[in-house]
Amino acid sequence: MAEEGGLRVLILAGGGGHTGYARILAEALSGRAQLLFLAPDDEPISVQRLAPYGKVDTITKPRHPTTPLWRFILRFLEAFLQSLKRFPPADVVVSTGSNFCVPPAIVAWLKGVPIVNLESRVKLLKASGAARFIGRFSELTALQWDEQTKFHKGIVFGPLLPRRTTVPRDGGYILIAGGTYGYEELFDAAILTGLKNVVLQTGKIDPAKYSERRPEWRVISYTEKFNELLAGAQVVVTPPGGTPIEAAAYGKPVVITPYPGWTRAADKEETVLFASKIDAVLMGEITPDGLEGAIETAKKRGPRILEDGTDKLAEAILRIAKEHHNRRRL
């Protein structure tokens, strides 16, 4: 399909699960507009995931989980200056969330480019900081659950689900996915289980210490063919975020493992609600026995079928882009 009227859509891919949102929308918008992306300069996997759909430029991500405040401020200013320099002509900008999106979203606002502001699928009790801030000057705030209308003025489109790129199958293995940063507590418990057929994805944590202790496992840091791993898994074990939804899209039972160091009750409550949305098994304390038990429970429970909101949101993005494009031509 030809690109519609020369429309240019800039998608801000915040890394990790936020890049997952960017790719889902890219799949729906491909061929209907010229797609451009900004991604974190220290996450090459984000660039690899988005490059098939359009031109990807990179800027600094101001904050990672362990970034101190003073460094965050300096990196935020750096990202803002980079955004001013690298911001391409666009008819609409889509923020996928995280602090990464804030500097280029401010630049979009200064340039008069409309913004579509996406709230995270895991925020069910209060707004994320980035979505709350960007929502103040956005054309549209796109919500994924009805609960999000309690703290956002926006439109509910439904959860964004990735398109299946391969046929689901039973490959006989358990997929334990640590996401972008990895999850050492989960991995340490997993290697003490009796699980034999496991694919372990470690993110930024060195996979060597796990492959050495469990040589019968397949241990990787990242893979661009993650969808194929999802398609063949019996059960997917992962922290909350993008992977549980991706697993559900492939019809896979899910075990959600809490992040260590929950310090705010709301974070835990949101994770409980999110797990209920996809009928996932939510673990409590991460232990070898608890992990094996949760996996067996997930096998019996099975997945939940979700209604995809991606196409509806893609249509809204194109409508806003067309309106801006036509105003510029007057």
31 within 8 A of 8, measured Cβ to Cβ: no
Nearest Cα residue to 129 out of 274, 243, 266: 266
Q: Please, which pLDDT band fits residue 5 given cuts at 50, 70 and 90? A: low
174 within 8 A of 214, measured Cβ to Cβ: no
Instruction: Return the residue matching tokens 């964004």.
Output: 160
Q: Mean pLDDT over residues 226-252, rounded?
A: 91
pLDDT at 262: 46
Show the domains of the chain with their CATH numbers: 8-160+308-329 (3.40.50.2000), 173-301 (3.40.50.2000)
Q: Please, which pLDDT band fits residue 330 given cuts at 50, 70 and 90? A: low
Neighbours of 88 (CB within 10 A): 13
pLDDT at 4: 61
Residue 261 pLDDT more than 60? no
Q: How far apart, in Å, do the first and last CA atoms of the chain sit?
A: 26
322 within 8 A of 139, measured Cβ to Cβ: no
97 within 8 A of 40, measured Cβ to Cβ: no
Name the H helices within 90-241. 102-110, 129-134, 184-190, 208-213, 226-232
Going by the DSSP 8-state scheme, the letter that residue 149 receives in this structure is: G
* pLDDT per position as a tens digit, 270-323: 888 999 999 999 998 899 999 999 999 999 987 788 899 999 999 999 999 999
Instruction: Return the residue matching tokens 């998608």.
Output: 11
Tell me the average pLDDT of the chain: 92
What gap in Å lies between CA 212 and CA 208, rounded to an integer? 6
What gap in Å lies between CA 62 and CA 76, rounded to an integer? 5
Residue 87 pLDDT more than 50? yes
Query: Which run of H or E residues covers position 187?
Result: helix 184-190
